[in-house]
């Protein structure tokens, strides 16, 4: 039904992009390090979520030779309202991808690598086997590199997929809840909030020593108490690390930004999350799942060691 209260837009007119506040603006990537990282990814036929999801931190991360590799192609079988990754029927899985990821990690001298993927609902295992192959290739070629994975929810095949991946032994298992439960039907329609929570619980049930991590975007219309509830849900699933960042609309066709959350509000959310017992918290407008992931892993590992030492001291007292 047409909205008769406002005149129709001239044919071909595009919706205007929202103006970003000063605290969200970043410089265009032009450094030598950025171009070297880009060339390496192209030479090895690797995709990155940095590019596909239009991450605002790409210039900073690639200058430091940090990249989040996106395996299983660059076409997703779902169409989430917030995501800039292409949707459609994916191509065949590249059998050389695991070796190429390991080569890239070696050439970049990575101490910590983040591996994510598109959703592959078309595959019998959702793509879990490719994660396993990548982890094994990295362990073989760059054994000192710590490995963080960011997986989809493996809808309908979650338990077998998680078990297989946990057996391969990643250091960090990340799966993002993305938003509050109320917004799932419009923002993440192909997924289920409590199914994602169960995945995070399943990781800990299979191997309590694997660090778990999850994140949400703010600015989609969520309420403050809803964010607090997501934190509680994550802690009930024993999630170690929470990330919170500002949602940015990739194109006018995607879900609009309802609110630009201020740095002060992000800091307040971060303080609440720390009080709830997370080992590590990253909360700022430009925070993304893999932003400063290596540094955050070191902090999280130290926090767990300190926590275990205090528990041991109490038992010995």
Residues flagged as binding site for [4Fe-4S] cluster = 50, 55, 61, 76, 80, 83, 290
Say whether 100 sits in a helix, a strand or coil: helix
Which residues make Cβ contacts (< 8 Å) with residue 156, sequence separation at least 6?
A: 126
Sheet of 172-174: strand order equals: 47-48, 68-71, 112-117, 146-150, 172-174, 211-218, 241-246, 280-283
φ, ψ for residue 260, nearest 5 deg: -90, 110
Strands 241-246 and 86-87: unpaired
The encoded tokens of residue 282 equal 């990253």
Distance CA 233, CA 134 (A): 30
Distance CA 233, CA 264 (A): 24
Do 245 and 290 form a contact (C-beta atoms < 8 A)? no
Q: Residues annotated in the binding site, as ranges? A: 50, 55, 61, 76, 80, 83, 290
Handedness of CA 75, 77, 83, 84 (dihedral sign): positive
Helices 158-168, 128-141: axis angle to 10 degrees equals 0
Distances (CA, A) of 199 to 3, 56, 209: 42, 28, 16
Do 155 and 190 form a contact (C-beta atoms < 8 A)? yes
């Amino acid at each position: 039904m047409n909205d008769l209260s406002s005149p129709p837009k001239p044919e071909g007119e595009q919706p205007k992009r929202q103006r970003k506040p000063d605290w969200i603006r970043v410089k265009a990537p032009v450094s030598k390090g950025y171009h070297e990282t880009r060339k390496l990814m192209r030479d090895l036929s690797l995709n990155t979520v940095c590019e596909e999801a239009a991450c605002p931190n790409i210039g900073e991360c690639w200058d430091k030779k940090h990249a989040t590799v996106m395996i299983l192609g660059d076409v997703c079988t779902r169409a989430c309202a917030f995501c800039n990754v292409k949707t459609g029927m994916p191509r065949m899985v590249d059998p050389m991808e695991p070796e190429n990821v390991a080569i890239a990690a070696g050439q970049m001298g990575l101490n910590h690598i983040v591996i994510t993927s598109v959703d592959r609902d078309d595959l019998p295992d959702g793509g879990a086997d490719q994660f396993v192959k990548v982890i094994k290739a990295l362990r073989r070629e760059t054994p000192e590199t710590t490995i963080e994975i960011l997986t989809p929810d493996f809808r309908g095949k979650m338990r077998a997929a998680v078990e297989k991946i946990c057996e391969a032994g990643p250091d960090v298992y990340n799966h993002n809840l993305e938003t509050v439960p109320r917004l799932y039907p419009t923002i993440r329609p192909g997924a289920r909030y409590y199914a994602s929570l169960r995945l995070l619980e399943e990781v800990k049930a299979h191997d309590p020593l694997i660090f778990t991590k999850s994140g949400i975007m703010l600015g989609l219309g969520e309420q403050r108490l809803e964010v607090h509830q997501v934190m509680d849900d994550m802690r009930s699933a024993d999630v170690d690390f929470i990330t919170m960042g500002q949602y940015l609309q990739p194109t006018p066709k995607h879900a609009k930004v309802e609110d630009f959350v201020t740095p002060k509000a992000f800091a307040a959310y971060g303080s609440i999350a720390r009080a709830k017992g997370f080992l590590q918290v990253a909360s700022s407008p430009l925070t993304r799942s893999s932003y400063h992931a290596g540094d955050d892993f070191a902090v999280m590992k130290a926090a767990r060691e300190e926590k275990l030492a205090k528990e041991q001291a109490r038992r010995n007292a």
